[in-house]
Amino acid sequence: MVLNQKPRKIFLIDDDETSNFVSKIIIQALDESIIVEVLNNGQEAIDHFSKTDDPPDLVLLDINMPFINGFEFLDYYADQNWNGRTKFAIYSTSSRESDKRKSMSYEQVIGYIEKPLNEAKLKDLLQKFSGQ
């Protein structure tokens, strides 16, 4: 195993199309080999995680989504005891301290990114990921 571990597969769970579009470009601009997939809301994410044998290594999870928001998804995820390998980063436009604190209170969450995502923020996150 490589010491400087990087995620093989990253999921974007976000209902914001533009944000997904840009984030995907930014991630793949940094490292073409990373697989980036998009799930448009919490419900889609639940459906996917309940079926998949190949969960992502890292998820960028938005808070405000229709139906099931980011926090609700994390609660559900914790209840289901799914593969603990997946790490999460909350990324949202919210700059509220309470949102940041709440995000970091989840065991699987390794970081909080205030949107928009850019190269610097991504690098910082990947560093945290490899440090896990």
Partner 1 sequence: MTKFKPTLLLLGFLLLACFGYAQAIEHVHNAENSLGTIQVCTDGVNYDQAANEQVTDFFSGIFSTMNWPARWNCGIWSPFHGWFSITSDFLVWLSYFTIPGILFFFLHKKQVPKQFRKVFWLFIAFILCCGLTHLMEVIIFWWPAYRLNTTISFLTASVSIATVFSLVGILPASLKYKSPEEMQSIIVERTRLLKEKTNELEQINKELKHFAYVVSHDLKAPLANIESLVNLLESRKSEFKDGDLVFEKIHKTINQSKEKIEALNSVLEIRNVEETAEHNTNVQDTLNDTLLIIDELIKERNAKIQTDIDPTLTVNVPRVYLSTIFQNLITNAIKYQKTDKHSIINIRGNISSGIPRIEIEDNGRGIDLAKFKEKFFGLFQRFHLDVEGNGVGLYITKNLMETFGGTIEIESEVNVGSTFKLIFSKKDGSESKA
- Bridge partners, residue 5, by sequence: none
Q: Looking at 4-12, 34-42, 69-77, 91-99, which segment touches partner 1 (CB under 8 A)?
A: 91-99
64 touches partner 1 by CB under 8 A: yes
Give the separation between CA 60 and CA 34, rounded to whole angstroms: 14
Binder among 5, 93, 105, 127 for partner 1 (CB under 8 A) = 93
Q: Which of 50, 13, 66, 12 is nearest to 34 (CA)?
A: 12
- Nearer CB in complex with partner 1: 118/130: 118
Q: Is the dihedral of CA 3, 61, 29, 51 positive or negative?
A: positive
Closer residue to partner 1 in complex, CB, 63/77: 63
Residue 37, strand partner residues: 11
Binding site for partner 1 (CB under 8 A): 16, 18-19, 22-23, 25-26, 64, 93-97, 115-118
